[in-house]
């Protein structure tokens, strides 16, 4: 294995690529935004062996134009040459990406005379192969700038040291879409919904009254026991195989009651001597 670690950041406009590359720069990566694809291999060879650039990161997106089609072939050649590589694809929901991109007051690179949404549709088609080959897909929809920086820094650190397995526990609502980054997905909509209990409707799963209602159900209680057992079994095996980042997603209808209560109930199981836990209630303010 050669001594350069190459991280490639990709994704549609508004997904947070600029924030991600700045976060990597802050952690010591030599960063280049929008490097022409044909130059990637030569660039990595150039910096190999230099003390100043043992960690490099680049952004690859639709600005590459005709060169974008050759990215996977070039990226694979870097791998085969013996360099350590990580491909991170940032994603987001349409409404979030359109809002973010519109805030820049720029026209979309693929739809100068059309709406940003039409540009995003075309952009995703062009990037689908890169997303398919990504080592990690991160849904940035619910992250602010500071949270995204923390995630990128944490993940980039994990890919280098593999000292712990970072577990991202996400409670979400199916109404707002499945988290793109989910590795393990559990649907808890089979549990009675506190939304239909008037005194509980405006509370959320962090409230003891909602939590007690959810977990007092025998089926829910049994599910929590079985889920804890499965995760206790799986985590050491993921860690042993070198996985550095695992997302466990728990979903209910709106992401406010059941998914939150269940994720809280299993959170302690995900805190071990080989894991670092990050917990997020993605849709709790939407429901």
Per-residue model confidence as pLDDT tens digits over 48-70: 867 666 889 999 998 888 888 99
Compute CA distances 197 → 190, 216, 226, whole Å: 16, 14, 26
Which of 102, 126, 161 lies at the terminal end of a domain, its last residue? 161
Residue 190 located in a structural domain? yes
Q: Are residues 149 and 29 in the same domain?
A: yes
Q: Are residues 137 and 255 in the same domain?
A: no
Number of domains in the chain: 2
Distance in angstroms (rounded) separating the CA atoms of residues 25 and 256: 36
pLDDT score for 270: 94
As a whole number of Å, the end-to-end CA separation of the chain is: 48
Return the CATH number at 56.
3.40.50.300
> Residue 248, Cβ neighbours under 10 Å: how many?
25
Q: Are residues 223 and 275 in the same domain?
A: yes
Tell me the mean pLDDT per 10 residues along the chain, length 287: 83 90 88 90 84 83 88 93 91 84 70 73 90 88 83 66 76 92 94 96 96 97 97 91 85 96 96 89 86
| Residue range of the domain that includes 45 | 5-161
Q: Are residues 77 and 133 in the same domain?
A: yes
- pTM recorded for the entire structure: 0.63
């Amino acid at each position: 294995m050669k001594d350069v670690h190459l991280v490639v950041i990709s994704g549609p406009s508004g997904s947070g690529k600029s924030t991600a590359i700045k976060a990597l720069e802050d952690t010591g990566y030599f960063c280049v935004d929008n490097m022409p694809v044909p130059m990637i291999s030569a660039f990595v060879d150039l910096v190999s062996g230099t003390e100043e650039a043992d960690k490099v990161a680049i952004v690859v997106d639709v600005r590459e134009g005709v060169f974008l089609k050759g990215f996977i072939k070039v990226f694979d050649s870097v791998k085969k040459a013996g360099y350590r590589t990580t491909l991170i694809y940032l994603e987001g929901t349409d409404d979030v990406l359109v809002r973010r991109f519109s805030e820049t007051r720029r026209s979309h690179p693929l739809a100068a005379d059309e709406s940003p949404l039409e540009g995003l549709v075309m952009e995703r088609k062009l990037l689908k192969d890169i997303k398919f080959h990504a080592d990690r897909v991160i849904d940035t929809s619910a992250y602010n700038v500071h949270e995204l920086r923390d995630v990128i820094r944490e993940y980039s650190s994990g890919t280098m040291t593999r000292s712990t397995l970072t577990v991202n526990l996400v409670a979400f609502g199916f109404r707002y879409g499945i988290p793109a980054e989910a590795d393990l997905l559990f649907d808890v909509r089979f549990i009675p919904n506190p939304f239909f209990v008037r005194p509980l409707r405006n509370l959320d799963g962090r409230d003891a009254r909602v939590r007690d209602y959810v977990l007092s159900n025998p089926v829910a209680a049994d599910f929590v026991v079985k889920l804890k057992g499965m995760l206790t079994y799986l985590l050491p095996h993921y860690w042993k195989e070198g996985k550095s980042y695992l997302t466990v997603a728990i979903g209910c209808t709106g992401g406010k009651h059941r998914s939150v209560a269940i994720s809280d109930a299993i959170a302690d199981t995900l805190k071990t001597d080989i894991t670092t836990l990050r917990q997020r209630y993605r849709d709790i303010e939407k429901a």
